[in-house]
C-alpha cells in the first residue's frame, strides 16, 4: 500500500507545512519572535530547495538519451 494512501501521511514537501507552522506559532503566541520567524523561513527555504531538486531530477530523467 503506498504511503500517501495512509490518511495520516503528511507530504514533507507540501507548502502547507509552512502554513501549519505559522498557525502553530500563532496559537502559542510566538509568531513574532525572531526564533519562530527564522524557523518558518528555514522551513520555507528547505521545501523550495528540495522541490527544485526533485524537479531537476525529473527533468533529467525524461531527457532524450541521444
CA nearest to 20, candidates 45, 50, 44: 44
Q: Is residue 66 part of a domain?
A: no
* DSSP secondary structure code for residue 31 in this structure: T
Single pTM value for the model = 0.75
**Per-chain mean pLDDT for the chain:** 89
Look-up: residue for cell 524557523?
39
State the pLDDT at residue 1: 64
Confidence band of 9 (pLDDT split at 50, 70, 90): confident
Which structural domain, as residue segments, surrounds residue 51?
3-61
pLDDT above 60: residue 66: no
Estimate to the nearest angstrom the gap between the alpha carbon of 55 and the chain centroid: 14
Euclidean distance between CA atoms 50 and 19, whole angstroms: 17
Q: From residue 26, give the alpha-carbon distance in Å to each of 44, 45, 59.
A: 17, 20, 38
- pLDDT-above-70 percentage for the chain: 92
pLDDT at 28: 97
Number of domains in the chain: 1
Amino acid at each position: 500500500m503506498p504511503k500517501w494512501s495512509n490518511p495520516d501521511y503528511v507530504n514533507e514537501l507540501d507548502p502547507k507545512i509552512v502554513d501549519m507552522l505559522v498557525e502553530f506559532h500563532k496559537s502559542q503566541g510566538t509568531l513574532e519572535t525572531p526564533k519562530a520567524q527564522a524557523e518558518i523561513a528555514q522551513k520555507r527555504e528547505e521545501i523550495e530547495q528540495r522541490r527544485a531538486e526533485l524537479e531537476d531530477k525529473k527533468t533529467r530523467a525524461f531527457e532524450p538519451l541521444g
